[in-house]
Amino acid sequence: MARKKIALIGGGQIGGILALLVAQKELGDAVLFDIPEKEGVAKGKTLDIMEGTPLMGVDSNLSGTSNYEDIKGADVVIVTAGLPRKPGMSREDLLDVNIKIMSSVAENVKKYCPDAFCIIVTNPLDAMVYSFKKITGFPKNRVVGMAGVLDTGRFKSFVAMELGVSAEDVAATVLGGHGPTMVPLPRLATVGGVPLTELISDEKLEAIVTRTRKAGTEIVGLLGNGSAFFSPAISAIEMAEAYLKDKKRILPCACLLEGEYGIDGYYIGVPALLGSGGVEKIIEIKLTDEEKEMLMNSLEAVKKAVAETKL
């Protein structure tokens, strides 16, 4: 079986970690693409990782480029091209700049990787993945946004820290847009099969939900000059792996809804079954009235950002 090819568009903070994880997990060969001014960085990062592959005992060819022809025929494309947040900025503040970048990325992915499974990471996420889908015209099962995996990762880690248990045993999901309006569902979270609500007080749980909603901003504040990059990369790789290995994982992802949850024509976070068919199924959860209301509130924020893309 030929090795899989993974195109990483954007060779910044997240892009570099993505390349490392592709190699470390032997998912295939990776091409790290960036603009001509950053071609040296893309080449340098990938060469640096290549030189570590013998030490990790893995086989993966990595290369850096600013020539779109080099991503030709990729099986998976992960897009992180675009500006990250600085302290004081919301994800929506990135829209004007990042929509231009996303348009050129989408045109080129359409041209060179017409059959790829595409994972969008660039913020504001729900509007960026919407734009990418519009411009490429790819089927909805092959264009997905990374947000929920990261948001649940944050929620799960806060629960594990609070309870002093393994984060591995925490299961949870989150719905909605990637931002402060997201809808964590603590009602459905479990720890080793035990309902989370039986293990933690309402106040502590509320505090964890609030911290999850602001978790990206917390990191932006600490870093001072950029946004989270380790956990976003780990999250996107989990999704890529589910596709490449046909794992049939159920992961919260930004998917194009066409009637599910009473939403039509927008990308928003929902649990999805990821396998070799890409987004093979969207799982509809029975929500309480309060949860429904929160999801609709989140949809309003997504709609506002999408309207600004003018697509």
Cα–Cα distance measured from residue 147 to residue 235, given in angstroms and rounded to the nearest whole number: 8
Contact call for residue 244 and ligand APR (CB under 6 A): no
What is the total count of residues that contact ligand APR (CB under 6 A)? 29
Q: Cis omega before residue 124 (within 30°)?
A: yes
Contact call for residue 80 and ligand APR (CB under 6 A): yes
| Position among 8, 10, 45, 113 found at the interface with ligand APR (CB under 6 A) | 10
CB burial class (10 A; 0-12, 13-18, 19+) of residue 88? exposed
Q: How far is CA 208 from CA 58, 90, 149, 168, 297, in A?
A: 38, 21, 16, 17, 20
| Position among 11, 145, 186, 278 found at the interface with ligand APR (CB under 6 A) | 11
Cα–Cα distance measured from residue 125 to residue 117, given in angstroms and rounded to the nearest whole number: 17
User: In terms of DSSP H, where are the helices of 25-147?
Assistant: 39-50, 53-56, 95-112, 125-136
Torsion (CA) 101, 112, 148, 254 in degrees, nearest 10: 90
* 3-state secondary structure (DSSP) of residue 278: strand
| Position among 12, 64, 271, 278 found at the interface with ligand APR (CB under 6 A) | 12
Quick one: tokens of 12? 């910044």
Contact call for residue 82 and ligand APR (CB under 6 A): yes
Of the candidates 204, 246, 220, the one whose C-alpha atom is nearest the C-alpha of residue 117 is 246
Give me the catalytic one of 149, 178, 213, 267. 178
| Position among 23, 71, 74, 81 found at the interface with ligand APR (CB under 6 A) | 81
Contact call for residue 153 and ligand APR (CB under 6 A): no
Query: Smallest gap, in angstroms, from Cβ of residue 131 to ligand APR?
Result: 13
Q: Which range in 98-106, 247-255, 280-288, 300-308 contacts ligand APR by CB under 6 A? A: 98-106
Q: What residues numbered 251-310 form the site for ligand APR, per CB under 6 A?
A: none
Contact call for residue 227 and ligand APR (CB under 6 A): yes
| Position among 6, 15, 46, 131 found at the interface with ligand APR (CB under 6 A) | 15
Q: What residues numbered 27-46 form the site for ligand APR, per CB under 6 A?
A: 33-35, 38
Contact call for residue 65 and ligand APR (CB under 6 A): no
Residues contacting 134, CB < 8 A, separation 6+: 311
Angle between helices 125-136 and 289-309 (to 10 degrees): 60
101 is catalytic: no
Contact call for residue 223 and ligand APR (CB under 6 A): no
Applying CB under 6 A, the residues found at the interface with ligand APR are 9-15, 33-35, 38, 80-85, 94, 98, 101, 104-105, 121-123, 226-227, 229, 232
Catalytic positions, written as ranges: 178
